[in-house]
Structure 1
Amino acid sequence: MAAPAIPPRPIVLLVDDEAEFARALGLNLAAHFDVDYAASAAEAEMMLGTRSYDVIVCDHLMPGEEGLPFLTRVRRHFPQVQRILLTGYMNPELISRSTAVAGLAGCLMKPIHATELVDLIRLAMPR
């Protein structure tokens, strides 16, 4: 009897302009997921054309395009991709509105704990 197939690891795209933060977070996430990194929304958008992602984890305040407009556009063009916003600067009311507008699976305030993000990514994944 053949062994059951191991399901593929979810593929996460981490978008953050703070390289050290992203590198540290990416190392934690890599224990559970396949992780790619983009330093901007523009770079992430190019990567979306080359690979299918299950989840995008995106910082809000970045040079160029901010995370929320980017994730809102991702919702329109890639509705199957789950979206999580990271921020250190939004108030709770704005987070609530943002979650609805971009169809976010969640929003976490920085500083975050990697285990909290891992749990949120797992919850966001379709069953």
Structure 2
Amino acid sequence: MSKPVILCVDDEVVVLNSLKIQLKNEFGNDYLYEVAESADEALEIIDELEEDETEILVIVSDWLMPGTKGDEFLIKVHQKHPKVIKVMLTGQADEAAIERAKEQAGLHCCLQKPWSGKELIETIKSGLAKL
């Protein structure tokens, strides 16, 4: 049985690297950490993980990405995986998008960029506590 996954989705590699480092520093080897540079890539990873019967616990997604926006992506994920903890990370999401994600994707929290590592970890821990 493989470890559960925390998936980070952002079109900026530097953001993905930063998220991965913060998560690894906090949670160590408790989880696998996957990254995707777009919603489409993330959906492919989710399908692969599902085929391998690997559980996805948390998705941290940017809002403003080329192609599919973060709220649309999280709504798609929620339809197939309602139990996944969903966190949106953004500097530019409009209030309507955040509300839509809360209502239609069960958004756990929306954090503003630049985020604080402590706030990110506390948000993920509070989400995991609900599982």
TM-score with structure 1 setting the length: 0.84
1:64 maps to what in 2? Answer: 67
Partner Cα separation in structure 1 for residue 97 and residue 46 of structure 2 = 27
Match of 1:42 in 2: 40
- Gaps in structure 1 of 5+ consecutive residues: 1-7
Name stretches of at least 5 consecutive residues in structure 2 with no aligned partner.
50-54
How many residue pairs end up in the alignment? 120
Counterpart of 1:12 in structure 2 is 6
Is 2:82–2:106's contact at 8 Å kept on the other side of the alignment?
no
The separation in 2 between residues aligned to 1:34 and 1:118, in whole angstroms, is 15
Equivalent position SS for 2:72: helix
Which of structures 1 and 2 has the bigger CA Rg? 1
Q: Give me the identity figure in percent.
A: 35
Aligned to 1:28: 22
| Bigger fraction of residues in helix | 2
Q: CA, structure 1 residues 40+50, in 2 after alignment: closer, same or farther (shift >3 Å)?
A: same
Residues 99 and 107 in structure 1, CA contact (< 8 A), matched pair in contact too: no
- Report how far residue 24 of structure 1 moved: 1.3
Change (3 A) 1:10 1:117: farther
TM-score, normalization by structure 2: 0.82
For the 8 Å contact 2:74–2:101, the answer to whether it is kept is no
Residue matched to 2:107:
104
Give every structure 1 segment of 4 or more consecutive aligned residues whose post-TM-superposition deviation is greater than 3 Å: 91-94
Alpha-carbon RMSD across the aligned residues, in angstroms, is 1.9
